[in-house]
Structure 1
Amino acid sequence: MEFLGPYTPLILIIFVASMLIQGHLSRVYRTWGQIRNAHNLTGAQVARMMLDENGLRHIPVQMVRGQLTDHYDPLRKTVNLSEGNFNVPSVSAMAVAAHEVGHAIQDKVRMPALVLRGRMAVPLSLGMNLAPLLLLVGIVTQVTGLIWVGAALFGAALLFHLVTLPVEFDASRRALIYLNRRGLNGSAEEQHGARAVLNAAALTYVAGFAMAMAQFLNVLALARHSDD
């Protein structure tokens, strides 16, 4: 148990909860993905409209493979929608597309949290590939310095997830405001559906933060134990 760390049970609980949240997101997304929005607009059309009305005509809307692979690329300046959301005029597609354009608007206004997340992404992804190895080697060889480096990297990952929360919540807020202001949420049912999809997606980011927190606490406990 000392090798695994005292927070291992918590990590397992959060892992199970994360799987349940992913399942919930899939169900909500699938449910509202089968319901057409009142204006019969595809995700691509909603994204194009929202971009143009926010002075972002230069940003293309592209289709990418997979399901729920939708994202905004701040480096290439593109809004990328999964196949289902790009071509389908559903409530889910409308909500997801507006959310991704929300990120493009954040980029336009240089939202501090988005800028910070962008600067952290590449070096952190490289660091996190090394973190488990450094931690394992440090524990096996009892080299405390390596364990503390691993702990620092897990701490940086926690910061990344913390910064991600306001970025994602704000993009959803922008999406709902736009859809309601433009009357694209044509009924109370559609408003409920769009909010349900975005709220379910938000839960996945909360779960990611909880997992990062538990992992950091676990590694920190191992590092402190190595000093004893």
Structure 2
Amino acid sequence: MSPGFYGIYGGGFNMAFLILMIAIMFSLYAQAKVQGTFNKYLKVRSMSGYTGAEVARKILDRNGLYNIPIEMTPGKLTDHYDPSKRVLRLSQEVYNGTSVASLGVAAHEVGHAIQHSKEYAPLTIRNAIVPVVMFSSRFVWVIIFLGLIIASSPLVKVGIILYAAIVAFQIITLPVEFDASNRAMANLEQGILSPQEIAPTKKVLSAAAMTYVAATLVALAQLFRLISMSNRRD
């Protein structure tokens, strides 16, 4: 077994590993938090009686995005805006739901459509690096483990560079998600939500935002771990 391979599995309880474990635990907490918050407010019916699809259509039209269709997509919390096809896809719970959670999630995804139409810079940058990130996600660990097995420091460094692209994607995602939520709330507060429904809707969106923060922290911690391993090898 090469020293590099041992560096991952037998390197002991070092600081980089500790930071990574803390980040992973926070990520698990964030996932549980968003699920719990969404399920809680999924039971709180909005006073307007609008469905998520109706709210999405209303906000899209309000912003001149009449040509963007709304489709139902399978799964739970699978809601997303597809910039390549200019389609808004909502999960069944959100599409047909009349809860404050459903309206909040629907409006958030519309926020991404608004960003796209206004050429919001962070979203434009994120969309531009998607092909690089997809390539990196597919091959980064193959390259890193191969480099460790054959004790090739340059190959490991190539893997780290590829992983850094994934980290950059996670970082640029943060302003995109926070801005989409801000746009969502600004529209929801204009005749869709009652004053008492604003706070619970913000809780749903804040819980969702926490998952992106957690994912970024995990990615940063993993990058620190990889760099630490590479430095020990050198």
Distance 1:63 1:3 in 2: 43
Is 1:168 the equivalent of 2:177? yes
Q: How many residues align?
A: 225
Q: Which amino acid aligns with 2:191?
A: G
Q: Is the 8 A contact 1:62 1:81 kept in 2?
A: yes
Q: 1:74-223, aligned counterparts within 5 Å?
A: 74-180=83-189, 182-188=190-196, 190-223=197-230
Distance 2:40 2:8 in 1: 43
Distance 2:164 2:98 in 1: 41
Is 1:52 the equivalent of 2:55? no
Deviation at 1:129, TM superposition (A): 1.5
Q: 1:53-68, aligned counterparts within 5 Å?
A: 53-68=62-77
Q: Is the 8 A contact 2:136 2:165 kept in 1?
A: no
Q: Which amino acid aligns with 2:192?
A: L
Q: What TM-score do you get using the length of structure 2 for normalisation?
A: 0.93
Q: Which amino acid aligns with 2:48?
A: H
Distance 1:107 1:223 in 2: 39
Distance 2:117 2:82 in 1: 12
Structure 1: stretches of 5+ with no match in the other structure: none
Q: Which amino acid aligns with 1:14?
A: A
Q: What TM-score do you get using the length of structure 1 for normalisation?
A: 0.95
Q: Is the 8 A contact 1:147 1:222 kept in 2?
A: no
Q: Is the 8 A contact 1:161 1:209 kept in 2?
A: yes
Q: CA RMSD in A?
A: 1.2
After the TM superposition, which parts of structure 1 deviate over 6 Å for at least 4 consecutive aligned residues?
none
What is the DSSP-based 3-state SS (H/G/I as helix, E as strand, rest coil) of the residue aligned with 2:49?
Answer: coil
Deviation at 1:120, TM superposition (A): 1.2
Deviation at 1:123, TM superposition (A): 2.2
Q: 1:13-52, aligned counterparts within 5 Å?
A: 13-52=22-61
Q: Is the 8 A contact 2:37 2:203 kept in 1?
A: yes
